[in-house]
Structure 1
Amino acid sequence: MTDASKDAVDAITAQWHAVRPDLNTDPMAVFGRIYRIAKAIGDAMDETYGRFGISRGEFDVVATLRRSGAPYTLSPRQLSATLMLTTGGMTGRLDKLEKAGLLCRKPDPHDRRGLQVTITERGLALIDEAVTAGLVTQRDALAGLAEDEVETLTGLLRKLLSGMP
């Protein structure tokens, strides 16, 4: 590997090798890059969704309703389970999104104690634009890889994720 192709993670692992040559820093090299990539793409997605007046977390709520298919309705409990959020965290997001006119909450006709959350027409239009813009941002981030490299990376990440606790 040439010095020009080395990155900050290489510098960190080289420092560890210099002071602790007994350590295998391969895991650090992998996860150091994953953390840095996640931070960089997270920032880029925040900027992209911010153009639509929503955060990544708010995007996730509206996108989950959109992906659920017509009539784009789920209970707060279903949303919380899908997004791995506490009910308190979900309530805050729903309050903000309802105030923005992107979704509405109505009583569940099948459960007097329950609610249903439905995407509004405004929310549907916004999420369709935001998901398209988000995919452009993500595609741009992958621009340095060939199509077969993206497929290989996808497979490797899927395999890595399936082995996680």
Structure 2
Amino acid sequence: MTDYPERAEDGPDRIQVAWRRELPGVPVGSIGVITRIWRLGQLLADDRRRTLERLGIDNPTLDLLSTLRRSGPPYRLTPGQIAARSFVTAGAISQRIARAEAAGLVRRERSAADGRSAVVALTDEGRALNERVVADLLRHEETLLDGLDDAQRAALAELLKTLLGDLTRRFGAEDRPPARDGDQLP
């Protein structure tokens, strides 16, 4: 496997060729992967923001509602459980809950288990909004992969899973939130 392309075909290829020329002997192969993943991340984040704006919801609210909906009936979790499942800080969860509660999408209830702690419950309105948005979002995002056949999608998913797992272990990131709150999938 070559460390750089012989012929520049896209931006990352051109960057690799230039750095190989400017810094001979420095490995530049990672540019072909990391730069493309970084650029894909930018494109997908921008597309997600625009799509959610069109659908009438922001990403943090969608993440909260989706976390509750994926938990299964009765769609209730403690704030701590939501934070752990969303990979965001407790402070961010409190803000999300307050905004969603004000919009009538969730409600706080006393825990049936001990009557002292609080749980957050998805309202019927929140569930309906979440199901509509997730269905529309996933249909849209499916079209973003039209350039790949089923085998390519499966291979890419496995490769990304391997890379993500390795980097998560190496960075010790299994049990801590990402650097930025949000940016979660539905």
Residue 64 of structure 2 corresponds to which residue in structure 1? 61
Output the CA distance in 2 between the equivalents of 1:17 and 1:135: 40
Q: Please report the TM-score for the alignment, with normalisation by the length of structure 1.
A: 0.91
How do residues 80-95 of structure 1 correspond to structure 2 at under 5 angstroms? 80-95=83-98
Going from structure 1 to structure 2, the CA distance change for 1:32 and 1:103 (only over 3 Å counts) comes to same
- Look up the equivalent residue of 1:104 and give its one-letter code: R
2:80 counterpart of 1:77: yes
Asked whether the equivalents of residues 9 and 33 of structure 1 are also in contact (C-alpha less than 8 Å), the reply is yes
2:120 counterpart of 1:138: no
Output the CA distance in 1 between the equivalents of 2:113 and 2:159: 44
- Look up the equivalent residue of 2:152 and give its one-letter code: E
Q: Helix, strand or coil for the counterpart of 1:118?
A: strand
2:138 counterpart of 1:161: no
Residue ranges of structure 2 left out of the alignment (5+ in a row): 171-186
Going from structure 1 to structure 2, the CA distance change for 1:140 and 1:2 (only over 3 Å counts) comes to farther
Residue 41 of structure 1 corresponds to which residue in structure 2? 44
Asked whether the equivalents of residues 6 and 17 of structure 2 are also in contact (C-alpha less than 8 Å), the reply is no
- Look up the equivalent residue of 2:97 and give its one-letter code: L
Output the CA distance in 2 between the equivalents of 1:52 and 1:105: 25
Q: Please report the TM-score for the alignment, with normalisation by the length of structure 2.
A: 0.82
Runs of 4+ aligned structure 1 residues displaced above 4 Å come to: none
Over the aligned positions, Cα root-mean-square deviation in angstroms equals: 1.8
2:99 counterpart of 1:116: no
Out of 47, 52, 57, the position equivalent to 2:55 is: 52
Deviation at 1:112, TM superposition (A): 4.0
Residue ranges of structure 1 left out of the alignment (5+ in a row): none
Output the CA distance in 1 between the equivalents of 2:20 and 2:60: 39
Deviation at 1:7, TM superposition (A): 1.9
Asked whether the equivalents of residues 59 and 127 of structure 1 are also in contact (C-alpha less than 8 Å), the reply is yes
Deviation at 1:52, TM superposition (A): 3.1
Which deviations, in whole Å up to 9, do the C-alpha atoms of 1:118-147 show, x marking residues without a partner? 111111111111111211222121111111
- Structure 1 residues 17-26 or 50-59, which shifts more? 50-59
- Look up the equivalent residue of 1:30 and give its one-letter code: V
